[in-house]
Amino acid sequence: MAMTDVLSAEDIKKAVGAFSAAESFNYKKFFQMVGLKNKSLEELKKVFCILDKDRSGFIEEDELKFVLKSFNPNGRDLSDKETKALMAAGDKDGDGKIGVD
């Protein structure tokens, strides 16, 4: 499954492009721009499975670093600071990984 099976290719392209500069990533704005805010729980789970590259059932920090490339292969890697901010936002129990819930 590809991101474009769930999200608009044009929205993905615009969102990845908007955060192409180093240290510019804002996860709230990015997720809004790609259209995740308007998706059903089932659609969100599909996106989660795409981001969970190792199929562990969790998204770990090393997978988050490449989150933009998961949406578009031309995306950049997140910086360590951006990755840690994204992890902190999603890791509600502090175990170093993000679960689907």
Mean pLDDT of 66-93: 95
| Within-domain flag for 70 | yes
| Within-domain flag for 43 | yes
Give the CATH number of the domain where residue 37 resides. Answer: 1.10.238.10
62 among annotated binding-site residues: no
Can you list the alpha helix ranges (DSSP code H) found in the chain?
Answer: 9-18, 27-34, 41-51, 61-64, 67-71, 80-90
Q: How many CB atoms lie within 10 A of CB 63?
A: 19
- Could you tell me the two tokens for 27? 């996860």
| Within-domain flag for 88 | yes
97 among annotated binding-site residues: yes
User: 76 near 18, Cβ under 8 Å?
Assistant: no
- Could you tell me the two tokens for 13? 């392209």
| Within-domain flag for 56 | yes
| Within-domain flag for 24 | yes
Q: How confident is the model at residue 1 (pLDDT cuts 50, 70, 90)?
A: confident
Mean pLDDT of 82-89: 96
Q: Which domain holds residue 77?
A: 3-95
Tens of pLDDT along 11-38?
999 999 999 999 999 999 999 999 999 9
95 among annotated binding-site residues: yes
What pLDDT, on the 0 to 100 scale, is given for residue 101? 84
Burial class of 4 by CB neighbour count within 10 A (0 to 12, 13 to 18, 19+): middle
Tens of pLDDT along 38-59?
999 999 999 999 999 999 999 9
| Within-domain flag for 100 | no
40 among annotated binding-site residues: no
Enter the pTM of the model: 0.90
- Domain count for the chain, please give it: 1
| Within-domain flag for 101 | no
Provide the mean pLDDT of the chain: 95
25 among annotated binding-site residues: no
pLDDT at 9 over 90: yes
> What is the C-alpha separation between 99 and 96, in angstroms, rounded?
10
